[in-house]
Amino acid sequence: MNVKIALCQINTIVGDLQYNFERICGFIEEAKSKGAKIICFPELSLLGYPPEDILFYPYILEKQFDYLEGIKKYSEDSLIVIGFANFDDYLYNSAAVFCQNQMFVYNKINLPNYGVFDEDRYFKKGNYSLIIDANKIRIGFTICEDLWYPNEPILSLVNNDVDIVVNISASPYHVLKPKLREEIFKVRAIDYSVFILFCNSVGGQDELIFDGTSSIIKNDGKTLFRAPSFKEKILIGSISVEDLKLAKLNPLRKNQPKSNLECKIINTTIDLLSKDYTEDDLSDFYDFEEEIFNALVLGTRDYIFKNKFNKVLVAMSGGIDSSLVSCIAAEAVGHKNVLGVSMPSMFSSSHSVEDARILAKNLGIDFVIIPISKIYDTFINSLDDVYSRLGNKEFTVAEENLQARIRGNIIMTISNKFNYLVLACGNKSEMSMGYATLYGDLAGGFAPIKDIYKSDVYRIARWYNTKKNVIPERVFIKAPSAELRPNQTDQDTLPPYNILDKILKLYLENNYSPEYISQICNLDKEFVKKVIKQVEISEYKRRQAPPGIKVSVRAFGKDRRLPITKNI
């Protein structure tokens, strides 16, 4: 006999209770049609995650309970777990556990309050564990962070002889996190000799990505089933009753520290057993480049569609950044919904325009050329009097940036006129150093590669080209340049990217001092200090940049909250 399980890796919309409810019900019906008896949904799946200050709107929180009543009817012969915001005397991040037309509630105990998390701002900590006893099969419940640490509530669950630990999560993605997270859960499974059902959200929400990668892990640490990353999926898997019995005999179950946490045990007569055994996917993890590319496509697609856009515009310079963004856009919304715009000035090379044209043709996207030299001349002529009065007619960085601002005006006007979402093409290296023009190349509604270092932009684009061969080879080998003055390259202003990116990563993601960075990278200390100073004085620009997808351990934004005005 077996217990058949469905982990419903669902993509929700924050605040849209009706949409989320309908998706949940559809997934329940499909899971039940496949014989699943335990059906799980992610953390806060009814409301969407993270709801942020929507949690301060009581009228929205109260509506959840009407939808929970609608879900209860599905639980006569199955156990269903749904994440919601429990609004009682206090606000809790909770799991609604439905069984035999009854609803039981578990409130999350470990509330993360670091990085992108602000759960202490909203939720009160739970104070009990919950077990459903289904004819001697004991199922305990945890929410996301509850399973990351070897303490409560899992200790309480094991003290009370639990067989299966359900973990519903909305675990935000960063590079290589799917593997890391599963390794942690394998340790929990082995240490406590329990089966773990990990059900994670999937989809993009503003700057966050949820990768899914839900899994069923055996008590010996073996992953039995794993859902694909970055895709909606109902993962169906079975656990044999014999394996559950053997897990209980493991001496580790008897040698755990005692728990003082109250445990609510609900005894039921529900039959979760089935003769049918289902063996679903054991999807592989992606390699580095493919993992990040798929995350960027998912995050871009969801930002576009969830914010009611259906077409996007990319300013195609013929460089590597706009080339990668164009590929992401075509994958995210389809080539027919992407407009590429080339805006050459008197300093643009002919090969840059040609490379942009070739890429657009290879991707099958619409492409237009709008020269800006005459517009630039009109601007300069209009400024002639004030330049004379203030005493400087020389060509400076102001005239360089004027070209970028003209381009920003053009693409934002097209966006405004035809409802295209503009995708900004700035990368993390440029954002870090302030190597971007306010109201120019920072213009746009969303920045897909905002958290990708320049070195990794090349790496990911090269990987994509091995699959599709759409980016002209010249884009990879020519020196990167903004082309705002004659013979300009990025390295006129910035250190070589292979050196710069090492410094940035160690400083931004590890908080290492300039002295330590210079030591481990064998670089001049004053040079490193100069780079870091430029990072800090560029904070005001980053505050005005469009949102972008978090893929690193520490992105700009919620991950890294520093004052603009400072002296460090």
Give the sign of the dihedral formed by CA 548, CA 549, CA 551, CA 556. Answer: positive
What token pair was written down for 89? Answer: 């005397």
- Residue type, position 412, single letter: M
- Residue type, position 386, single letter: V
Strands (E), 53-101: 79-87, 91-99
Residue 40, CB-side half-sphere exposure with 13 Å CA sphere? 34
Q: Is 193 left (phi over 0), alpha (psi -120 to 50) or beta?
A: left
Helix axes 350-363 and 320-333, enclosed angle (nearest 10): 20
* Residues in the chain, overall count: 568
- Quickly tell me which residue has 């299966």 as its tokens: 164
Per the CB < 8 A criterion, the answer to whether 207 and 548 are in contact is yes
Q: Return the CA Rg of the chain.
A: 27
Which residues are the active-site residues?
A: 43, 108, 144
What token pair was written down for 78? Answer: 């199955």
For the chain, report the end-to-end CA distance as a whole number of angstroms: 64
Distance between CA atoms of 180 and 186, rounded to whole angstroms? 10
- Residue type, position 332, single letter: A
Q: How many CB atoms lie within 10 A of CB 463?
A: 15
- Residue type, position 297, single letter: V
What DSSP assignment string belongs to 198-256? EEE-EEEETTEEEEB--EEE-TTS-EEEEPPBTS-EEEEEEEEHHHHHHHHT-GGGGSP
3-class state of residue 422 by DSSP: strand
Distance between CA atoms of 165 and 159, rounded to whole angstroms? 13
CA 283 to chain centre: 19
Per the CB < 8 A criterion, the answer to whether 523 and 504 are in contact is no
**HEC states along 103-169?**
EEEEECCCCCCCCCCCHHHHCCCCCEEEEEEECCEEEEEEEHHHHCCCCCCHHHHHHCCCCEEEEEE
Per the CB < 8 A criterion, the answer to whether 143 and 108 are in contact is yes
Give the sign of the dihedral formed by CA 425, CA 429, CA 434, CA 435. Answer: negative
CA-to-CA dists, residue 565 to 30, 529, 539, angstroms: 54, 18, 9
Helices then strands, each counted (H, E), the chain = 19, 20
